[in-house]
C-alpha cells in the first residue's frame, strides 16, 4: 500500500523491455555524445564561462565518439589558451587536428589555433607549418583574418 492506495501497474514484458532499452539508450547517448554541441553554442556566442561549465559535465571524454572527441579537445584548448596554459592547449589542439572535424573550415580554425599557441611557446617553425596547412584548406574570411593576425605576430618577432 502506498498512501492508502494500492499502486498497481500492468505492463507487459515487451513494454518493460522497451522502456529499459529506451532508458539505456538515453544514458548511452549522453556518455557517447556528451554536451559537446551545447558547449559549441557557448563557444559560438564567445561565452567561455558557459563553455567551460558544459565541458566540465563531460567526465569521460575518452568515451565520446571520434568527432565529438575532436571538438572536445578543440574547445578544451580554447579554455586552456584563455588560462594561458599554452603547452596543454597546444596538445589539445593537436589532438583535435587529428580528429574527424565536420568541415575543412573547422580544421583550418584548429590549425590557426595551433599556430597561435605555437607562437606563445616561441616555436615559430611549427607556427609557420600550421599556418601553411590552414591556408591549404577551404576557409572563410574570419579564418583568413586569423591567419593574417598570427602571421603578423610571427613577423613582429622574427
DSSP 30-82: HHHHTTHHHHHHHHHTT-HHHHHHHHHT-S-GGGS-HHHHHHHHHHHHHHHHH
Q: Kindly tell me the burial class for residue 50, based on how many C-beta atoms sit within 10 Å of its own C-beta (0-12, 13-18, 19 or more).
A: middle
Q: What is the pLDDT along the chain (158 residues), one digit of tens a residue?
A: 455 555 555 556 778 778 778 888 887 777 666 689 999 999 999 999 999 999 999 988 998 989 999 999 999 999 999 999 999 999 999 999 999 999 999 999 999 999 999 999 999 999 999 999 999 999 999 999 999 999 999 987 65
List the grid coordinates of 14.
515487451
Which structural domains are found in the chain, ordered by start?
35-157 (1.25.40.10)
Amino acid at each position: 500500500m502506498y498512501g492508502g492506495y494500492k499502486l498497481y501497474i500492468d505492463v507487459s514484458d515487451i513494454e518493460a523491455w522497451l522502456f529499459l532499452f529506451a532508458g539505456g539508450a538515453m544514458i548511452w547517448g549522453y556518455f557517447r555524445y556528451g554536451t559537446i554541441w551545447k558547449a559549441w553554442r557557448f563557444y559560438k556566442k564567445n561565452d567561455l564561462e558557459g563553455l567551460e561549465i558544459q565541458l566540465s559535465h563531460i567526465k569521460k571524454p575518452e568515451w565520446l565518439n571520434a568527432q565529438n572527441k575532436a571538438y572536445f579537445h578543440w574547445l578544451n584548448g580554447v579554455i586552456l589558451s584563455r588560462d594561458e596554459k599554452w603547452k596543454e592547449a597546444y596538445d589539445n589542439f593537436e589532438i583535435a587536428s587529428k580528429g574527424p572535424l565536420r568541415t575543412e573550415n573547422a580544421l583550418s580554425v584548429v590549425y590557426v589555433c595551433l599556430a597561435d599557441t605555437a607562437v606563445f611557446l616561441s616555436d615559430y617553425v611549427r607556427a609557420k607549418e600550421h599556418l601553411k596547412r590552414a591556408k591549404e584548406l577551404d576557409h572563410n574570411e574570419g579564418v583568413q583574418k586569423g591567419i593574417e593576425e598570427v602571421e603578423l605576430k610571427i613577423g613582429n618577432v622574427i
